[in-house]
Amino acid sequence: MSREGEVEVTPDLAIPRGELEYRATRAGGAGGQHVNTSSTRIELLWNVRTTAVLDELTRERVLAKLSSRLDGDGWIRVVSSARRSQQQNREAAEARLVDLVRRALFVQKKRRPTKPTRASKEARIAQKRKRSETKRQRRGDLD
């Protein structure tokens, strides 16, 4: 998943670790004495606006897709506190960042509208006729 000194997002795109900012803080919630004394929670920040690894088209796509997760300066923040060690939380935060960026880079294939075939149209009409005939036969003479 990560090469030395960078976090691999796709085979063509890797974020240098120098662009990533890590903060270690104390994790909140239950957990006893260990969690209250150690800074194992990791905040990972990456600035999408100023990164050197994205070209303009890709940057615009990522900014648009992740707009709800970005702050005013273009920083994306990923937090991990699920694990007991700082290193494991760092790896988990990197994995979540990679997942977010991959999903933002994914371009949906344009749907090509199709028309029903002649046979399918005829089959639909035939089915309607058959259903109509069945209902007509069920009707009693009202005269």
User: Which tokens go with 119?
Assistant: 């046979």
Q: Which domains does the chain have, with CATH numbers?
A: 2-105 (3.30.160.20)
- pTM here is 0.67
Is there a contact between 46 and 21 (Cβ–Cβ < 8 Å)? yes
Q: What is the mean pLDDT of each run of 10 residues along the chain (143 residues)?
A: 74 87 78 65 89 88 88 88 84 91 89 94 97 92 61
SS (H, E, C) 51-101: CCCCCHHHHHHHHHHCHHHECCCCEEEEEECCCCCHHHHHHHHHHHHHHHH
The phi-psi region of residue 136 (left if phi > 0; otherwise alpha if psi is between -120 and 50; otherwise beta) is alpha
Alpha carbons 103 and 73: distance in angstroms, whole number: 21
